[in-house]
């Protein structure tokens, strides 16, 4: 799907993050447009998580700038514009699932209809009475995704959103995210499973060794890699 608007919602400009002498992110530059699903694609260790955490300000960038609707967005104000769902977190283990949902709904003052819609889309109703610590990996992931979608932010960044889901569940979640993108929400997803990424993303940022090696729609990347009918996997291997 082509970008809905020609003007970027978010622009990442020359973002660099070093750990000691090593560049975890090296002058990353790309944009996310309203209503699109942008995939940050790369193998483990490519710098996807560091890139997302640097964008939202959870990790301090060494150089580079984040622009929101073409205006600089300082780290202190990013939480007003962006919401980031990290990978590998299992928060609020001792709390009931219902209480955690209530907490986010209360903070963002969501209506009952919005809560109901979120619970339905992620199939969380059967586990509302369970403690978060007792949830399976899949349900824990569903809970976290539902928290992210209860926020009112126009742009949501998610790190490995399909981790812990089987094929059928992944397709379900893709449907939910597509539904929200169709209503104008923008998603930036860090994904290492290229098949999943190909299914859901409108455009791709190919990341390897902290560097952006390719950027564009699947067709644009095919043209760049001179692989007219290549899969994302083949394109990735060709460009990185």
Partner 1 sequence: MRSHKQSAARAAPLLPLLAKEVREILSGRSLWILLLLLCPLIGYSLFQAVLLYGESSSAALQSPALASSLSPFDGILVPTLGSFYVAVTLLFPFVAIRVLGQEKESGALRLLVQLPYHIPTLVIMKFAAVILAWLLASLPALSALVLWRVLGGHLSFVETSNLLLGHLLYGTLIGALALFAASIAESAATAAIIALAFTIGSWVLDFTIAGQPGLLAWLAKLSLTQTLRPFEQGLFSGGLVLGIVGVIGGFVALASVWLPPGVPPRQKMRRSLPCVMAIAAILGGATQVAWSVDVAEDRRNSFAAADQELLATLRLPLAINVRLAVEDPRYADLQRNVLSKLERAMPNVSVLLAGSRHYPATGSSGESYGEIEYSYGNRSDVSRSTSPREILPLIYNLAGVSQPPPKPGAEYPGYPLVTGANATLLWFFGALPLLIALCWWWIRRPRRFNRFLVHEGGPS
Q: Which residue ranges make up the site for partner 1 (CB under 8 A)?
A: 53, 56-60, 75, 79-81, 83-86, 88-96, 98-99, 101-116, 119-120, 125, 128-129, 131, 147, 152-154, 180, 183-185
Could you tell me which residues come within 8 angstroms of residue 98 by beta carbon, excluding any fewer than 6 positions away? 128, 129
Q: Work out how close the CB of 88 gets to partner 1 at its nearest, in angstroms, rounded to a whole number.
A: 7
Cβ at position 87, least distance to partner 1 in Å: 9
Which residue, 58 or 238, has its beta carbon nearer to partner 1?
58
Closest to partner 1 by CB, 131 or 199: 131
The span from the CA of 183 to the CA of 186, in Å, is 9
CB of 90 to partner 1, least distance (A): 5
Least gap, CB of 59 to partner 1 (angstroms)? 5
Q: Which token pair is 37? A: 């699903």
Q: Specify the residue, 60 or 226, whose C-beta has the smaller distance to partner 1.
A: 60
- Distance CA(216)–CA(222), nearest Å, equals 9
Smaller CB distance to partner 1: residue 91 or 223? 91
What does the H/E/C string look like for 162-224?
Answer: CCCCCHHHHHHHHHHHHHHHHCCCEEEEEECCHHHHHHHCCEEEEEECCEEEEEECHHHHHHH
Q: Which of 169, 227, 230 is nearest to 194 (CA)?
A: 230
- Rank residues 129 and 193 by Cβ distance to partner 1 and give the closer one: 129
Cβ at position 122, least distance to partner 1 in Å: 11
Rounded Cα distance, 221 and 232, in Å: 8
């Amino acid at each position: 799907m082509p970008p809905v608007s020609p003007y970027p919602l978010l622009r990442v400009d020359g973002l660099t993050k070093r750990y000691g002498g090593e560049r975890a992110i090296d002058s990353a530059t790309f944009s996310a447009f309203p209503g699109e699903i942008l995939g940050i694609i790369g193998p483990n260790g490519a710098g996807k998580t560091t890139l997302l955490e640097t964008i939202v300000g959870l990790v301090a960038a060494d150089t580079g700038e984040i622009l929101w609707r073409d205006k600089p967005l300082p780290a202190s104000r990013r939480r007003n514009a962006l919401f980031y769902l990290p990978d590998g977190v299992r928060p609020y283990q001792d709390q009931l699932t219902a209480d955690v949902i209530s907490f986010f709904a209360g903070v963002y003052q969501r209506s009952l209809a919005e809560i109901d819609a979120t619970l339905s889309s992620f199939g969380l109703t059967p586990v509302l009475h369970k403690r978060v610590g007792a949830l399976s990996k899949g349900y824990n992931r569903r809970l976290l995704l539902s928290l992210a979608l209860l926020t009112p932010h126009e742009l949501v960044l998610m790190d490995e959103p399909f981790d812990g889901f089987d094929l059928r569940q992944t397709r379900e979640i893709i449907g939910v995210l597509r539904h929200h993108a169709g209503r104008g929400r923008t998603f930036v997803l860090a994904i290492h499973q290229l098949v999943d990424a190909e299914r859901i993303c409108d455009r791709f940022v190919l990341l390897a060794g902290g560097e952006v090696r390719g950027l564009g729609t699947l067709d644009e990347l095919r043209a760049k890699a001179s692989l007219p009918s290549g899969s994302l996997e083949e394109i990735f291997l060709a460009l990185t």
